[in-house]
């Protein structure tokens, strides 16, 4: 994958407890290099995520300028 990959995720410090970690684990499993952007835990403070996607939920994966929301959709995209 030659495009830049950015994972916008919650501040949970482990990759086990949340959907953000599930996406991070899959990226690592596939050997995809990615940048992590930790967003505030409170949804009301996620203005950058809302500007990017129109909603405040994470995880959000940016691949070459495309923003994909929802861990299930992200994992489906990574399976391609």
Rounded CA-CA distance 72/22 in Å is 10
Classified as helix, coil or strand, 47 is: helix
| Mean pLDDT within 20-39 | 97
Class of domain 5-78 (CATH, top level)? alpha beta
- Give yes or no for residue 17 having a pLDDT over 90: no
**Residue 64: its pLDDT value, please?**
79
C-alpha distances in angstroms, 40 versus 12, 26, 56, 58, 68? 10, 22, 10, 10, 19
Domain parsing of the chain, residue ranges = 5-78
pTM of the predicted model as reported, rounded to 2 decimal places = 0.91
């Amino acid at each position: 994958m030659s495009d830049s990959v950015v994972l916008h995720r919650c501040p949970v410090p482990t990759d086990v407890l949340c959907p953000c970690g599930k996406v991070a684990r899959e990226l690592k499993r596939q050997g995809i290099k990615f940048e992590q952007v930790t967003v505030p835990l409170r949804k009301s403070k996620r203005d950058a995520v809302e500007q990017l996607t129109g909603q405040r939920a994470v995880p959000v994966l940016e691949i070459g300028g495309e923003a994909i929301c929802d861990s299930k959709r992200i994992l489906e995209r990574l399976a391609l």
